[in-house]
Amino acid sequence: MGERIEACDLVFSRGPRRILDRVSLTLKRGEIVALLGANGAGKSTLFRLLLGLARPHGGAVRLDNAPLDSWSRREVARRIAYVPQGHAPPFPYLVEDVVALGRIPESGLLRAPGEADRAAVRDALARLDLSRLVGRPYTEVSGGERQLVMIARALAQGARLFILDEPMTGLDFGYQTRLLGLLRSLATDGHGVLFSTHHPDHALAIADRVAVLHDGRVIADSPARSVITAPIIRCIYGVEVEIVEDASGARIVSTNTVADLQQ
Amino acid sequence: MSLLPAALIASALLAMTIGRYPLSVGEILGYAAAGLGLDDIPADRADMLHNVIVEIRLPRVMAAALVGAALASSGAAFQAVFRNPLVSPGILGVLGGASFGAALGILLSGHWLVIQLSAFAMALLAVGIGVGVANLFGPASIVMLVLGGMISGALFTSLLSIVKYTADPNDQLPAIVYWLMGSLGNLDLRQVAFAGAPIILGSAILAALGRALDALSMGDDEARSLGVPVDLLRYTVIALATLISALSVSLAGMIGWVGLVVPHAARMLLGPLNARLLPASALLGATFLILADCLARSIARAEVPIGVVTELLGVPAFILVLRHARRGWL
């Protein structure tokens, strides 16, 4: 479930500091939206507002054309899955048990997982090629595997809208590449995917749209190729780049040399 | 898991045999069978057995089982809520409050009912203060709750010192000191039955919340994104765990280490899933405390305070736990 989530003119402040200033963003099923922004630009805050984990001080979030507040937490969880950065919990839950937590919105808090839940867990693990991890403590698998387990949990949850908080962070090149392919395939079979990233390359590679948060405002929200340009990268990160086209698509090449940056 | 109830029953039977008048398991089972009308034993012998088994040993064994179960399952629940396997039931000040309450009861009246009620009330008050302090400056984070519990614990520890200082050193002060060492000796069946129902019910509700606690232990935001009402769940569990640990402390005084070590052992045996861990901790805690009480009654000519025994057993047990501890914490 879950067709569309919209943020309209969100305002969020922490003390005197305005973290988000009239931010609007939409995610629909079947599309991939990448969120770019420097550290501290407000990406995580925006995600928390979209998930209903914090309330905006202005503006509104709408889920499937109704205010987010009007949905119960469980109904939200059946529509939006949150994929946090894979972290180690204090207790060594097995991988399949962590994925089974994704079934809570379906089965309810007080029911033990049933056969349908176990089947959903098996399917999610199989889809991400993680079946070999069954029986292993989640705390003892690698960081990349942990991130994939979080995505498997989101799949088991059955929600159609995915929000991923910097899913590539800490992953090696192989996992990053596989994860990009996976996000693309999720969108192809009808999921809406919103992810934040520090790598404009990742946005270029898979995103249908790229939104850029800068100083608490959305300064761009358009198809990837029109957003990821040398001036915008300079504005976000303060470095000079060139966008190069080749047979495999567009890539970003830094034109600064290390010597330039040292001056 | 299926072995735990068997271990509990076996340890309870063993505990019934130990004492100044040794009984065999056969005699106990014979008495039970006679009670059910399946067997016949002479009247004077039946009276004697009734006295030893029902009046003296049964309340004690049941109290040990209940207190052990309450401490271990509240410890396991607190560990999940605080996302920390090093947490024990005293984290929010329940033990400090109960100690002060019991000492105050000894100072004011000395009647067991006053002492127990005062210990129970002050234990709840201490947790209330701890949680209240944590929420003074907006909804409490885990760290704020820990700090609130420390503050409340410190407050009641100093109040306890005042009571100790004013207590009569000839009879009241020793009574306070003995209470603080823990004892299962002075309980009758009525008291045990009165505390037993809420302890069993509370532990059962905690176990039913096990899956929600798994989600909660992954972090607040994650749990909310899975549809868990985090604040409601957290304070429900804190209230239940406080209630049953306060009941156990007011029955038996300070019995340390059970609430910390037993959940660890249960986690090593059965894994960390709370729906299994909580009932397993309760059963294992009950078994552990029954056996610890057997030791307390039999290692020396005079009875050793049970709190001293659990502390002495707790140290090597905790070292073993550290050895087998999984990575991911510490």
Asked if B229's CB is within 8 angstroms of A92's CB, the reply is: no
Please check the confidence at residue B185 and state whether its pLDDT lies above 90.
Answer: no
User: B227 and A87 in contact by Cβ < 8 A?
Assistant: no
CB contact B107 to A (< 8 Å)? no
ipTM of the complex, rounded to two decimals: 0.91
Provide the pairing of β-strand A209-214 with A192-197: unpaired
pTM of the model: 0.91
pLDDT value at position B46?
Answer: 85
User: Helix (H, G, I), strand (E, B), or coil: what is residue B87?
Assistant: coil
Do the Cβ atoms of A30 and A192 come closer than 8 Å?
yes
**Are B208 and A89 within 8 A, CB to CB?**
no
Closest alpha carbon within chain A to B82: A90
Mutate to test the interface with A, among B84, B221, B225, B268 (most CBs of A within 10 A): B225
For residue B248, what is the domain's CATH number?
Answer: 1.10.3470.10
Q: What is the 3-state secondary structure (H, E, C) of B265-323?
A: HHHHHHCCCHHHHHHHHHHHHHHHHHHHHHHHHHCCCCCCCHHHHHHHHHHHHHHHHHH
Nearest Cβ partner of A93 from B85, B209, B272?
B272
What are residue A245's DSSP bridge partners?
A250
Distant-in-sequence, close-in-space partners of B132: CB < 8 Å, separation ≥ 6: B148
**By residue range, what is the domain housing residue B146?**
3-329
Side chain identity at residue B6, one-letter code = A
Would the pLDDT of B330 be above 50? no
CB-count exposure of residue B210 (10 Å: 0-12, 13-18, 19+): buried
Q: What is the pLDDT of residues A157-207, one digit of tens each?
A: 999 999 999 999 888 898 899 999 999 999 999 999 999 999 899 999 999
Token output for B259: 């609430």
- Report the phi/psi class of residue A161: left, alpha or beta, with left for phi > 0 and alpha for psi in -120 to 50: beta
B279 in contact with chain A, both atoms CB, cutoff 8 A: no
Residues of A in contact with B222 (CB under 8 A): 82, 84
Ranges in chain A, pLDDT < 70: 256-263
Integer angstrom CA distances of residue B6 from B13, B65, B287: 11, 13, 10
Q: SS3 for B67? A: helix
pLDDT band per the 50, 70, 90 thresholds, residue B328: very low
Chain B residues within 8 A of A88 when measuring between CB atoms:
328
Rounded to the nearest integer, the mean pLDDT of chain B is 90
- What is each CA distance from B147 to B48, B133, B134, B215, B246, in whole angstroms? 53, 8, 7, 23, 20
More confident residue, B86 or A133: A133
At B9-56, the pLDDT tens digits run 999 999 999 888 888 888 888 888 888 877 778 888 888 888 888 888
Q: How far is CA B138 from CA A18, A244, B133, in A?
A: 20, 51, 10
CA distance B222 to chain A (A): 7
pLDDT at B194: 87
CA distance B249 to chain A (A): 27
The pLDDT tens digits of the residues spanning B206-218 come to 999 999 999 999 9
- What percent helix, strand, coil does chain A show, rounded to 5? 40, 30, 30
Q: Are A187 and A219 in contact (CB under 8 A)?
A: no
* Amino acid (one-letter) located at A11: V
Note the pLDDT of residue A262. Answer: 65
With beta carbons under 8 A apart, name residues in chain B contacting A78.
Answer: 227
Overall number of domains in chain B: 1
